[in-house]
Structure 1
Amino acid sequence: MKLKFVLLFCFSLFLIQPTQAFIIPSPAWGSTGHRTVGKIADTYLKGSTKRAIKKLLNRHTLAFVSTYGDEIKSDDRYRKFSSWHYVNMEANQSYEESEKALQGDAVTGAEYCVKVLKDKNASDDDKAFYLKLLIHIIGDIHQPMHAGLAEDKGGNDIKVKWMGKDTNLHRVWDSDMLNGFDMSYTELAINADALSKEQIKLIETGTITDWVNETHTLANAIYKDVKTGDNLGYEYAYRNLSIARSQIQKGGIRLAKLLNDIF
């Protein structure tokens, strides 16, 4: 009887192990944030752009594929793209002045995606792959801690609490604060701030590098507002949630601008 129990227990562990091995890492902005970027971008796409994207993505929406860049992290074949999710700089540096990662970063990664999408000789499969990566990366570069400091891994090493529970500054901006707001990505997209044509044009200006520098400046201000051990919660969300929502909206508008230019 005991032998049967031991065998049954070991068999149960065997069944559990493969499932644990494929746990997907928490994505930047969380799934909700990335999907909101995609949903907002969709509202700014031209008809011709929508048709081209619909064909490449097998009718899937920008929101649906927006988390693809994080989903493939669990597959060793795509390990080389890991550094494309962020840019690390010193506090007083611009991207142009910073030391570049040999394996690439969010700027070089996004630029490569654009290059493939503009290449008339690239296959539809390649274009679909790099389109999904581009959608994700543009979301990433608008999350302040993805343009943070190398020494603390973009806020990952700054241990804080969120509503009394252990977390870190990066995760607070990735998901804790946004998830605490408890809105779906469609609700967040519908409730994006009303902007004038002039405001939208201003957001659309600049290059990918310019957008990263802007996010890095924001990251510097966020660092100054938090120290290790802080218990963050309602007051922090009250002061910063609107910033996160604004960054997501900018990401959506700029993603649409890029895609309209490409297609």
Structure 2
Amino acid sequence: MIRRLLVALALLLLPTQAMAWWEFGHETVARIAYLNVSPATRAEIDRLLRQSRLLETPTCGANTIELASYWPDCIKNLGERFSYASPWHYQNVNICQAFDENAACPDGNCVSRQIERQLRLLADVRVPIRERLMALAFLVHLMGDLHQPMHAGDHNDLGGNRVPVDYGIISGRTNLHLVWDGYLAERGISQPEGDARGILAELSEADRAAMRQGDITAWLREGWAASREFAYGTIRADPCVASPDTRPVVTEEIVRRLIPVVRRQVARGGLRLARLLDEAFRPDSPWSRPPERRRS
């Protein structure tokens, strides 16, 4: 109860647009990845993280993969220095239209394209250490964002930021985006058994192998579908019809149904990130090649 009250108090102090998955979600995705990369990849990750002072962000640490996973949100507080990266954290494709990855990605400033870009930077050993370290931090973070459904789908409402909902008895400034960013992540990841190892323990080797399949576009589509079915679909009979004047309530019954969804998304994010990191650090990395030209 005390923990929940503290979280509620913290919510009142947050800006309108929340940070995806808060710290807990990002750290757990990062930890799952770290536990599943090859020893050679883990050594390369550690080598880069030991150079975190090169980032010159003393208030935003990045000397562990957990800290690095949150670094791209932490630097939002540094004013104009990193403001260019703000659109990289999401790619909200309208849930009530046909899936169109390009429509939600002006000039490549979106989560899927930036994941690809950070992978190319990370794989290129000619890139200075500082830039490769930044690429590592952004990659780890953005893979967490990609698997937060409210960063993949919306209904012309800023990814649910304009959809007021109550989370049980917690009301006020709560909205659909905040619920998925924080409350569900906190609740879902901390369920017995909690944290990265607990989530991994629920998965068979076949489950893990299946989750690692696909590509970035397929993963974005998957999150987009999840936002329609599990986010909007749990508060509206028809996800494409606006909510009534009364605030929908995410009840305890709904939360219990959504916990497996949250845990699955976090597991997917971590295992897929592990695969991409292994690919990026391979001597023959596929990400070291120039990107294919996309059709507009």
198, 204, 224: which one pairs with 2:233? 224
1:82 matched to 2:86: yes
Corresponding position of 2:217:
209
Q: Equivalences for 1:231-250 in 2 at 5 Å?
A: 231-250=249-268
Corresponding position of 2:23:
31
| Residues 88 and 202 of structure 1, relative CA distance in 2, 3 Å threshold | same
| Residues 51 and 97 of structure 1, relative CA distance in 2, 3 Å threshold | closer
Distance of 1:126 and 1:95 partners within structure 2: 31
Distance of 2:155 and 2:77 partners within structure 1: 23
RMSD of the TM alignment (CA)? 2.4
The alpha-carbon deviation at position 27 of structure 1 amounts to: 2.0
Give SS of 2:125's match.
coil
Deviations 1:189-210 (A, max 9, x none): 1211432332222111111111
Distance of 1:63 and 1:132 partners within structure 2: 9
Q: When the two structures are aligned, how many residues end up with a matched partner?
A: 242
Distance of 2:188 and 2:216 partners within structure 1: 29
Q: Does the 8 Å contact 1:204/1:254 carry over to 2? A: yes
Q: Could you tell me which amino acid in structure 2 is paired with residue 168 of structure 1? A: N
Distance of 1:254 and 1:180 partners within structure 2: 22
62, 65, 75: which one pairs with 2:65? 62
> What are structure 2's unaligned runs of at least 5 residues?
1-14, 52-62, 237-242, 282-296
Distance of 1:203 and 1:46 partners within structure 2: 17
182, 186, 189: which one pairs with 1:179? 186
| Residues 98 and 182 of structure 1, relative CA distance in 2, 3 Å threshold | closer
TM-score, normalised by the number of residues in structure 1:
0.85
115, 118, 128: which one pairs with 1:110? 115
1:138 matched to 2:143: yes
Q: Does the 8 Å contact 2:93/2:103 carry over to 1? A: yes
Q: Equivalences for 1:150-169 in 2 at 5 Å?
A: 151-164=156-169, 165-166=171-172, 167-169=174-176
> How high is the sequence identity, in percent, across the aligned residues?
30
Flag the structure with larger Rg. 1
> What are structure 1's unaligned runs of at least 5 residues?
1-22
Q: Could you tell me which amino acid in structure 2 is paired with residue 199 of structure 1? A: D
Q: Could you tell me which amino acid in structure 1 is paired with residue 215 of structure 2? A: T
Distance of 1:134 and 1:95 partners within structure 2: 22
Corresponding position of 2:274:
256
Distance of 1:202 and 1:183 partners within structure 2: 24
